[in-house]
């Protein structure tokens, strides 16, 4: 299977392009990254994770975090632009959109979403196979990380802390 046809990458694109749910983009792609290249901070999947992180921060008004994440995303895309993790995607277009977003941030222009341009019919078919979700709006979308149930995360952190001692 081509690496971009993985269901988690297809979900990432669906969340990004159709739902603008950048928090979920990060969640699903981090899971895929941990399967493929855990701890490799320069892996191409991290550029996609940083892209969604930057968009999430920008929409929330965290300008410094947005710009830092988008610049890092772009730098990682430039490390290995011929990676299979960019095939089927109009990478020059995505790079231009990131540049434009960074320019908008620098100019103080409010959040502007964009879509990742897919040039592979096969990748589009994989994305279309992903179930459509109920789109969130307002605070449920913008502040998603603050509104979710974090009890499992906090429990895992506490267990990890206890096991260190």
Whether the per-residue pLDDT at 1 is higher than 90: the answer is no
Higher pLDDT, 162 or 20: 20
State pLDDT tens for residues 6-54: 999 999 999 999 889 998 899 899 999 999 999 899 999 999 999 999 9
Confidence of residue 2 (pLDDT cuts 50, 70, 90): confident
Write out the residue range of the structural domain in which residue 26 sits: 3-164
What are the tens digits of pLDDT across the range 48-78?
999 999 999 999 999 999 999 999 999 999 9
Tens-place pLDDT, residues 122-140 = 999 999 988 776 554 444 4
Which CATH number goes with the domain that contains 33? 1.10.3450.10
pLDDT band per the 50, 70, 90 thresholds, residue 163: confident
> Which residues, at least 6 apart from 29, have a Cβ–Cβ distance to it below 8 Å?
8, 9, 12, 45, 48, 49, 52
Long-range CB pairs of 43-46, under 8 A, 24+ apart, other chains included = 43/85, 44/76, 44/77, 44/79, 44/80, 44/83, 44/85, 44/86, 45/85, 46/76
As a whole number of angstroms, the distance between CA 10 and CA 130 comes to 7
Q: Retrieve residue 140's tokens.
A: 């449920």
Is pLDDT above 50 for 154?
no
By C-alpha distance, which of 106, 115, 90, 125 is closest to 58? Answer: 106
Q: Which two tokens stand for residue 17?
A: 């392009």
Torsion sign, CA atoms 51, 27, 44, 17? negative
Torsion of CA 34, 39, 40, 46, to 10 degrees: 60
Q: Are 88 and 123 in contact (CB under 8 A)?
A: yes
Q: Are 91 and 77 in contact (CB under 8 A)?
A: yes
Q: pLDDT at position 107, please? A: 97
According to the model, what pLDDT value does residue 56 have? Answer: 93
CB distance 114 to 102 below 8 Å: no
Q: What is the reported pTM?
A: 0.81
**Number of separate domains in the chain:** 1
Question: What span, in angstroms and rounded, lies between the C-alpha atoms of 27 and 37?
Answer: 15
Residue 138: predicted pLDDT: 47
């Amino acid at each position: 299977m081509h690496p971009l046809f993985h269901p988690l990458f297809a979900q990432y694109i669906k969340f990004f392009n159709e739902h603008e749910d950048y928090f979920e983009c990060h969640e699903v792609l981090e899971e895929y990254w941990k399967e493929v290249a855990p701890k490799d901070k320069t892996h191409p999947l991290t550029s996609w994770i940083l892209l969604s992180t930057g968009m999430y921060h920008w929409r929330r008004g965290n300008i410094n975090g947005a710009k830092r994440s988008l610049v890092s995303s772009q730098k990682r895309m430039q490390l290995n632009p011929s990676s299979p993790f960019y095939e089927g995607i109009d990478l020059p277009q995505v790079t231009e959109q990131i540049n434009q977003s960074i320019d908008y941030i620098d100019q103080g222009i409010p959040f502007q979403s964009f879509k990742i341009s897919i040039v592979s019919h096969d990748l589009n078919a994989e994305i279309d196979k992903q179930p459509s979700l109920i789109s969130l709006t307002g605070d449920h979308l913008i502040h998603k990380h603050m509104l979710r149930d974090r009890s499992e995360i906090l429990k895992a952190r506490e267990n990890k802390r206890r096991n260190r001692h």
